[in-house]
Structure 1
């Protein structure tokens, strides 16, 4: 089903599901930030802007490969949608540059942003696959839930949706404070590992440097998880060093006192 008919209004189903999934992801990010006892409005605004950029790219990204449509057949912009490799690369580069400027301008924390990003990504994937399931179809590119023969998978969400739901439940049950990178470590390492293992059972029409696009996404998540682990280890080492220095200071203060006591005894 490619369109959603509401009276005289025709809505592209893929764009509608993407937009709804992004809104759900932004809502979860806002809800997770409020659990810290404060409304982190700048992080929610960042997530809304990123969601809008992705939607615009999904709607108009094909123009990077065929910009002549704008003046040859402008009315087709209302019906066509799609992305291109050039548009996707420019989108990611633009989001990275804009995020850096935005974080410095509002003095935000990269660690908090990293934790919220893990919640947003897995919520979007879970919502995207589930909305297609509610519509009675399977999301494009998603893997149907493997079941024994004779058990129909109709009405069951795809494997990626269930995996993301399990990861989200794990992150929410841990209730780790934002900024500790605990959510990013769990989400990106587990999600990247599971996704990479599952990707080897799926065929890919096109490869880039020997990997499919899903495998590159999983590799990026694994790299992000590795960065989160290293930052957490550095934070623990930094917290341990002041404690050791305080203990050494206490020992040096106690040593002269002991010498004075021995001198008085003599």
Structure 2
């Protein structure tokens, strides 16, 4: 059982929905992003998504693209992202960490070496948005064999014919993208999301977590109410981009987490 599996078991036992937060490693700088990361569990975050900056983040909107550019300009790399996870693990051995990014940096490092290093750094799961199920032998199956959850995205365009293929080697949870398009592009609507979550849950026992388009405690509550939890990324990254002090960023996160946990 991974930390992700254990966390969802705890949440189910407590009758509570999950709140997942995304931050970009190295944004606005390495020290600040680590300080925020260390504060996330205390702000109510159940699972941390840690973004790996990449030069061509095709699934991300302007907010996260700019965060990645700032991180890269500051010298953040995959190696330093793993070091950030190791530093976090010195004080927290229970909060799950999902590494989210693109395949190129992993490929360049070498899959075997990457999986060994990620496991040693305390990473629990991977979201690699540009590797389709047809390429599962490339990373998904080796990651699962190494004890990491490989989390797949389903979208509004994932029809009933495609969905079983998406789900076949997915573990940890399913990330449902609430809108068609890039991160931060539109607002999530529970009326649209609810039937899609039900459709996915009819084909899997995995938790379904909804992301994209969630910016307020109220939206976090309504979206978590029709799923097993929600993810917020761009709204948090946007607060950091405005130069908010770490305490204010964490207070913003706490409000979102409380919204999700009220669902």
TM bucket, shorter chain: under 0.3
Higher helix share: 1
Higher strand share: 2
TM-score (norm 2): 0.26
TM-score (norm 1): 0.26
Bigger radius of gyration among the two:
1
